[in-house]
Structures are given as structure tokens and as C-alpha cells.
Amino acid sequence: MKTLPPLHHSVKKRKLNDFLHSNAINDEQHAESVTEEEIESVDSLSAKLKAMEQEIMLLNMKVSDLENEIKRRRESENRFENENKIFKQQLLQIKICISDNFLMLKQIDRFLTKNKCCWGKEDIVAAVTLRSVSRKAHVYMRNKVGLPLPSLSTLRKWTRNLWCKPGIHTEVLTVLEATSKIMKEIKR
């Protein structure tokens, strides 16, 4: 539908009459001159149409913004789901290790946070034991399996200051006693 530009009333009447005749409306009612009420009605309808077009444009912009927000949230949700899967896998590994009394508390902290930590004597003793079996075994368990173990350089620092005197070593017995208390009956 064509809209009329705001003009003076006499020009508006002429334009409205041209508009009506151009659209093949030839009834007797419209053949007469157009009244002021009809002109005002057309003006108000045209203003309402303009307002509605602007409102539609604003609503379309809001819809576009909401669609972008939905897309951003879906991407964020996918990222969180992936992180959640990783955490669940890590938790499962930790549960397995805890159920077997395999990891010490420092190792669990290191496994969860990936931060450097100060290894305790028990952790060092366990790592030295593994290292005494094989250097490759220690490296494999630490790097490939992902078991939190002190590095080889840390083990060298600890063993460099290790002094063994002949006889019974009470510290070793203490560590063995603590380890045996943690172990299940079958593993003792």
C-alpha cells in the first residue's frame, strides 16, 4: 500500500483522490470529495504503520541478538561439557588409585592441580623404589601413564644427601609400617 507524504490539506485531498482513482476505486462515496476525517485517518494509519515498521525492525534486531547469545551459550556449554568429561576421567583414575591405596595424598594433589609440590618422604621412597627397578619404568609411569611422581632430578637431589650407616634403619621400618597399614590384607 502506498503511503502519502505529509502535505497541506488541499494537496492531501488531491493526492488522496489521485491515489484512490489510480487504484480503480470508483464508488460513488469516493467520487465525492474526501473529508477531513478520512485524511486524518489516513495520516494516523500511516504514522501507525511507520511505528510498527520501526518496532518490527527493533524486534528483528533483538531476535538476532538473542540468536547470537544462544550460539555463544551453546559453545560455552560444549566447552564445559568437554572439561567435565576430562575431570570425570581424572576422577575415575584417582578413585581407582585410591581404592588400590596406590597414591599418596601429595600425589593426588599434584594430579588434580598440576602444580609443583613439595614431595614427602613417603612419596620419595616410593619413587626411589620404582626408580631402583628401572629408570625407563619411572619415566614411563610419570610421562606416559601420567602418574604424579617426583622427577628424576628430584630423586637425585634426595639420594645425593642420603647417608646409610650399617645396621637396622628405623626410618625404613617406619615407612614400611606406614605402608603396610594402608595396604589391604591380601597385598600385605
For 123-130, the CB contacts below 8 A with 24+ separation are 123/149, 123/150, 124/150, 124/154, 124/155, 124/158, 125/175, 127/154, 127/155, 128/155, 128/158, 128/159
| Residue 12 pLDDT greater than 50, yes or no | yes
> pLDDT (tens digit, 9 = 90+) per residue, 24-73?
444 444 445 567 777 888 888 889 999 999 999 999 999 999 999 999 99
Domain assignments of the chain as residue spans, ordered by start: 9-73, 100-182
pTM confidence score: 0.34
Average the pLDDT over 3-19 and give the result: 58
